[in-house]
């Protein structure tokens, strides 16, 4: 519509005037374009981080793993590496004080918060990035707290007494939510799932680029799943490039078979578990009984010999009737 109107406007003029009008319109359009804010520049591409190994296999004798992450970033860049576990929703009981007693006062359902959130950097993250950049890329716990959602099933908490007991997935008020988030972050830090390691990433400037490397011991307590490894190149308190890769942690062999069986055929698994335990108990009993019987002839032989010589009267084992 606008193009058609401009065309009709130009038809009013003839010869060189038409060209002058067209040039005027073009100049006005260019000036208008210059006045509007520029869209954000696309970040320069950065090669994805190299993970060694790319897949952690949790076999029967798994005891954690050593992981090396390295790659190349733009020149003079500080590096932040973030490792996030998938969010599957987590349920917690919150303890509170009722008189002198500490009791579970609420059940909290946490969503949109990663199960694991590890950050490694070449310097303290606050020194590498401005506050708004840290928030934008969710690189600290405040940002995680801002994005996560909490629902509670109130029982007797004094702070949200307006809610009725037995409520499912009620949204807590802002005061109570702040307490819950603080408690959630505290337990995550306590169990080692949320941690920050400044100065853990090594960087070397070479040929107009920054080579980085990170060595870490993968905790054996982390559950199987996909972990996203994201590398941020930071310069002038801004993120200038980023790239990511996925670290796969999965069970293999016998543990994988058992986990699969428990998930796909739970009742059969339950019966097998019960019968195996039953069998183990009876077999142990059988084993200890047969061992005792094997020892019996020699013991009774010694006893007879001792009786015949009048030495070594029968001991407490005989008294208790267990020597046979």
Partner 1 sequence: MRILLPIAGIGVHIWTVIGIGGIIGLLSGLLGIGGGFLMTPILMMVGVPPTVAAASGTNAIVATSSSGFAAHFRMRNVDIKMGVILLLGGLAGSGIGVHLVSILRKLGSADLVISLTYIVLLGLVGIFIVRDSLSKMRMGILARPKEAAPHRRSMLARLPWQMDFPHSGVRHSVLLPFTLCLLVGLLTAIMGVAGSFIIMPMMVYLLRMPAHVAVGTSLFQALFTCAGATVMQAGSNHIVDLVLALLVAVGSTVGAQVGARLSRFLRGEQLMILLGFLALGVMVKMAFDLVTPPVVPFEQIARLELFKPLQQAAAAAIFVLGR
Q: Which residues bind to partner 1, rule: CB under 8 A?
A: 58-64, 91-98, 100-104, 107-108, 155-156, 165-166, 183-184, 186-187, 190, 220-221, 223-224, 251, 254-259, 262-263, 266-267, 269-274, 276-278, 280-282, 284-286, 288-289, 316, 320-322
Nearest to partner 1 of 17, 293 (CB atom): 293
Q: Give me the least distance between CB of 33 and partner 1, in Å please.
A: 54
For residue 320, which phi and psi values (nearest 5 degrees)?
Answer: -85, 0
Evaluate whether 24 touches 218 at the Cβ level (below 8 Å): no
Q: Give me the least distance between CB of 52 and partner 1, in Å please.
A: 21
Q: How far is Cα 272 from Cα 253, in angstroms, rounded to an integer? A: 19
Q: Give me the least distance between CB of 220 and partner 1, in Å please.
A: 4
Q: What is the DSSP string of 290-321?
A: HHHHHHHHHHHHHHHHHHHHT-S---HHHHTT
Nearest to partner 1 of 143, 223 (CB atom): 223
Evaluate whether 214 touches 70 at the Cβ level (below 8 Å): yes
Sign of CA dihedral 95, 96, 97, 103: negative
Q: Give me the least distance between CB of 280 and partner 1, in Å please.
A: 5
Q: Give me the least distance between CB of 65 and partner 1, in Å please.
A: 11
Starting at the earlier edge strand, list the strands of the sheet with 202-206: 50-52, 65-74, 209-218, 202-206
CA geometry: angle at 207 spanning 202 and 209, to 5°?
A: 50
Q: Give me the least distance between CB of 265 and partner 1, in Å please.
A: 10
Nearest to partner 1 of 93, 169 (CB atom): 93
Nearest to partner 1 of 13, 102 (CB atom): 102
Parallel, antiparallel, or unpaired for β 78-85 and 50-52?
unpaired
Nearest to partner 1 of 281, 314 (CB atom): 281
For residue 187, what is the DSSP state?
A: H
For residue 13, what is the DSSP state?
A: S
Nearest to partner 1 of 134, 180 (CB atom): 180
Q: Give me the least distance between CB of 249 and partner 1, in Å please.
A: 10
For residue 50, which phi and psi values (nearest 5 degrees)?
Answer: -90, 125
Nearest to partner 1 of 43, 271 (CB atom): 271
């Amino acid at each position: 519509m606008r193009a058609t109107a401009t065309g009709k406007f130009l038809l009013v003029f003839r010869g060189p005037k038409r060209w002058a009008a067209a040039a005027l319109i073009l100049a006005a359009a260019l000036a208008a374009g210059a006045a509007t804010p520029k869209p954000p520049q696309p970040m320069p591409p950065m090669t994805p981080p190299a993970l060694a190994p790319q897949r952690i296999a949790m076999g029967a004798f798994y005891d954690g793993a050593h992981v090396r992450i390295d790659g190349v970033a733009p020149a003079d860049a500080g590096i932040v590496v973030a490792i996030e576990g998938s969010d599957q929703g987590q349920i917690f009981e919150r303890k509170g004080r009722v008189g002198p007693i500490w009791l579970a006062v609420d059940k909290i359902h946490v969503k949109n918060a990663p199960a694991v959130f590890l950050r490694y950097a070449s310097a303290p993250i606050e020194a590498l990035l401005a506050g708004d950049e840290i928030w934008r890329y969710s690189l600290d716990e405040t940002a995680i707290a801002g994005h996560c959602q909490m629902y509670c099933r109130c029982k007797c908490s004094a702070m949200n007494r307006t809610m009725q007991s037995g409520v499912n997935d009620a949204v807590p008020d802002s005061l109570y939510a702040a307490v819950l988030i603080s408690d959630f972050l505290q337990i995550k830090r306590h169990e080692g799932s949320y941690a920050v390691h400044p100065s853990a990433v090594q960087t070397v400037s070479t040929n107009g680029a920054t080579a980085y490397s990170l060595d870490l011991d993968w905790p054996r307590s982390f559950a199987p799943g996909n972990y996203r490894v994201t590398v941020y190149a930071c310069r002038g308190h801004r993120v200038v490039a980023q790239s990511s890769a996925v670290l796969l942690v999965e069970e293999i062999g016998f543990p994988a078979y058992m986990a699969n069986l428990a998930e796909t055929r739970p009742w059969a698994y339950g019966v097998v578990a019960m019968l195996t335990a039953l069998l183990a108990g009876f077999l142990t009993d059988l084993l200890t009984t047969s061992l005792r019987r094997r020892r019996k002839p020699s013991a009774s032989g010694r006893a007879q010999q001792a009786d015949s010589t009048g030495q070594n009267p029968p001991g407490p084992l005989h008294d208790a009737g267990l020597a046979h």
